[in-house]
C-alpha cells in the first residue's frame, strides 16, 4: 500500500472516530493554556486538570502569578512532577510577560520559545489552540505513531513534524494533532499496539506480523 493511500485511510478513520476535537487541557485564555501545557510535560492531562484549578484560584494571570513565591507555586503543582523546574519557569515567565509583553502571551512561536520552560512543542500547542494559527505539535507518542503508520522515517520529533506538515493540508493540522493524540491514548498505546492491534495499523499494514521497532526520538 502506498503512502497516499495510507494517508487517506488514516484521515478517514480519525474523522469517523473524532468528529470533534476539544482541547484536553482545561483553560480559559492563552495564559492559563500556556501554564497547563508547561505542566503537562511528563505528566498526564488528567492530573494537570486536577492541579490547575488550585493554581489558578491563587493566580490566573501573569501579574498575580509573579507575586507568588516559587515555594507557593511548587506546593500546588508538585503532583505534576518536575516541580522545582516548573515552578521556577512559571514565576520567571510571568515576570517576563508583565515586563515585556504588557501581561499578554505572545502569539508567535519565536517569542514563545524564548520564555522559560517553553519548548517548541509547548509553543506550538499554544499557537494552535489559543491563537488558531496553523501548527502541528509533535510529542514522542505522535512521533511513534507516525513511524508505525509509515508517515515518517524521521529519527526525531523535529523531522516528524516536518513530514506531517508536508503530508497533510495546513487547515487540518490542529485537528489532526488532537485526533492522533486521542487515537494513541485509546487504541494505539505506546506499549500495547506496537503496530499490530489497532484499526489503523492493521488496515495500513495487514501483513505486519512482528512488533514495529521505533527509531528513537
* Residues labelled as active-site residues: 121, 139
Which long-range contacts link 139-144 to residues 24+ away (Cβ below 8 Å)? 139/181, 140/217, 141/181, 141/184, 141/190, 142/177, 142/180, 142/181, 142/184, 143/217, 144/184, 144/190, 144/214
Q: Could you tell me how many residues make up the chain? A: 217
The phi-psi region of residue 171 (left if phi > 0; otherwise alpha if psi is between -120 and 50; otherwise beta) is alpha
Helices (H), the chain: 3-17, 30-39, 45-58, 62-65, 70-77, 83-101, 109-113, 120-131, 140-148, 157-167, 173-186, 199-204
CB atoms within 10 A of CB 146: 23
Between CA 27 and CA 154 the distance in angstroms is 32
Q: Do residues 177 and 171 lie in contact, with contact meaning Cβ atoms separated by under 8 Å?
A: no
Q: Do residues 127 and 133 lie in contact, with contact meaning Cβ atoms separated by under 8 Å?
A: yes
Q: Which residues have C-beta within 8 Å of that of residue 158, sequence separation ≥ 6?
A: 120
Amino acid at each position: 500500500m502506498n503512502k497516499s493511500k495510507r494517508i487517506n485511510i488514516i484521515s478517514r478513520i480519525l474523522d469517523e472516530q473524532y468528529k470533534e476535537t476539544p482541547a484536553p487541557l482545561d483553560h480559559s485564555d492563552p495564559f492559563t493554556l500556556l501554564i497547563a501545557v508547561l505542566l503537562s510535560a511528563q505528566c498526564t492531562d488528567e492530573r494537570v486538570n486536577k492541579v490547575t484549578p488550585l493554581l489558578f484560584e491563587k493566580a490566573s494571570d501573569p501579574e498575580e502569578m509573579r507575586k507568588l513565591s516559587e515555594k507557593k507555586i511548587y506546593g500546588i503543582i508538585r503532583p505534576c512532577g518536575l516541580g522545582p523546574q516548573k515552578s521556577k519557569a512559571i514565576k520567571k515567565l510571568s515576570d517576563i510577560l508583565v515586563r515585556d509583553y504588557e501581561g499578554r502571551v505572545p502569539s508567535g512561536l519565536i517569542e514563545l520559545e524564548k520564555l522559560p520552560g517553553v519548548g517548541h512543542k509547548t509553543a506550538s500547542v499554544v499557537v494552535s489552540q489559543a491563537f488558531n494559527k496553523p501548527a502541528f505539535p509533535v510529542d514522542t507518542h505522535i512521533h511513534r505513531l507516525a513511524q508505525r503508520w509509515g508517515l515518517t522515517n524521521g529519527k526525531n520529533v523535529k523531522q516528524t513534524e516536518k513530514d506531517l506538515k508536508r503530508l497533510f493540508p495546513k487547515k487540518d493540522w490542529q485537528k489532526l494533532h488532537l485526533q492522533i493524540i486521542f487515537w494513541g491514548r485509546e487504541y494505539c498505546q505506546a506499549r500495547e499496539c506496537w503496530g499490530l492491534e489497532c484499526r489503523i495499523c492493521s488496515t495500513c499494514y495487514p501483513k505486519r506480523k512482528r512488533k514495529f521497532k521505533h527509531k528513537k526520538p
